[in-house]
Amino acid sequence: MEVSYYHCLQTPVFSRRGRVKFSGGFKYGCGNNKKSHFQVLACTPVADKGLSFEKKDALIRHGNQAKFMTAIVVGQYVETLLASVKWDDKGLAVAIAQNVDTGAILMQGFVNRDALATTVSSRKATFYSRSRSQLWTKGETSMNFINVHDIFVDCDRDSIIYLGKPDGPTCHTGAETCYFSSVSKLLEHPEDKKDTLAMTTLYSLETTICERKDEISRQTEGKPSWTKKLLLNEKLLCSKIREEADELCRTLEDNEDKSRAASEMADVLYHSMVLLALKDVKMEDVLEVLRHRFSKSGIEEKKSRNHKTRDQPSC
């Protein structure tokens, strides 16, 4: 079977030393046999189901060279997906990588057909570098891959979300995400050069609580805030958590209004997060626990079943 450029999962390039190099940067030994096989990275559950990718013996051509290999070819539904994207005049679409637990936007790049197909197959966020004119998988140098759990295409079909879990900081600067320059701060405090990560409400609150904890260890002066008081008094903190949980229950038992329930839940969350700060536990860790318990995806569901304890109800 002849496999065209478009059908091949990754574009193989034959090096002078008889090795197969992939545009994604991975290398596979090829040997000297006329009929040789190469390993393809990440045999995903999707590939296992045979829905999107199939393993086939295939003749791969490149320049004057041609070799038989066990190739993975794109299946019907991936073809449908790739054909449905509105690629721009350069054959590209925008791809945004987002942390599945925290919602943080990790980075944004561009993808072409091959980059998207590679991500679907390998489940590692892969982009097309416009400056280097080649595919690159985030993490191929730093090993901080972004493990993609699902991919979403927007209503115009020209913008893509890679929803996944990063192995470590995403930015080449070592920052958690690439977005750490706040315009508001530039305008209001232009002299302050400290980075400010783009953070949504929950993580902004978590950061504030952690800052208060750091201030305690640095013994800064001034009237202590409520958060500091809680951090310094475990008995007070625990009595507040129990009290707020009780008040949340009362909004249901006493049929109080919705705004009261939202307010009490906010109290439960805030006080519990102060406790988490004392225990050095991140909300991201908590959400990861919830994802493993309740995620509907096949792999996650299995993990959840295998590791379930008495405290982990099914949903």
Q: Enumerate residues 128-157 that contact its own copies by CB under 8 A.
A: 149-157
114 binds its own copies (CB under 8 A): no
Which helix (H) or strand (E) segment holds residue 265: the answer is helix 258-278
Taking the complex as a whole, the smallest distance from the CB of residue 135 to its own copies amounts, in Å, to: 18
Taking the complex as a whole, the smallest distance from the CB of residue 50 to its own copies amounts, in Å, to: 11
81 binds its own copies (CB under 8 A): yes
Which CB sits closer to its own copies, 214 or 246? 246
Binding residues for its own copies restricted to 276-295, rule: CB under 8 A? 276, 278-281, 285-291, 293-295
Max Cα-Cα span within the chain = 79
Residues 122/114, Cβ–Cβ less than 8 Å: no
194 binds its own copies (CB under 8 A): no
For residue 278, what are the CA distances in angstroms to 63, 213, 269, 270, 272? Answer: 61, 8, 14, 13, 10
Taking the complex as a whole, the smallest distance from the CB of residue 14 to its own copies amounts, in Å, to: 31
What is the rounded radius of gyration, in angstroms, for the C-alpha atoms of the chain? 25
Which CB sits closer to its own copies, 67 or 240? 240
Binding residues for its own copies restricted to 156-185, rule: CB under 8 A? 156-157, 159, 161, 163, 171-173, 175, 178-184
Total number of residues shown for the chain: 315
Q: How buried is residue 60: exposed, middle or buried, by Cβ count under 10 Å (0-12/13-18/19+)?
A: buried
Which CB sits closer to its own copies, 68 or 110? 110
Which CB sits closer to its own copies, 221 or 311? 311
Which of 39, 65, 220, 297 is the binder for its own copies (CB under 8 A)? 297
Pairing of strands 93-99, 159-166: parallel
Phi/psi-derived region of residue 250, left when phi > 0, alpha when psi is between -120 and 50, beta in every other case: alpha
Q: Which two tokens stand for residue 164?
A: 């996944």
Which of 11, 36, 70, 108 is the binder for its own copies (CB under 8 A)? 108
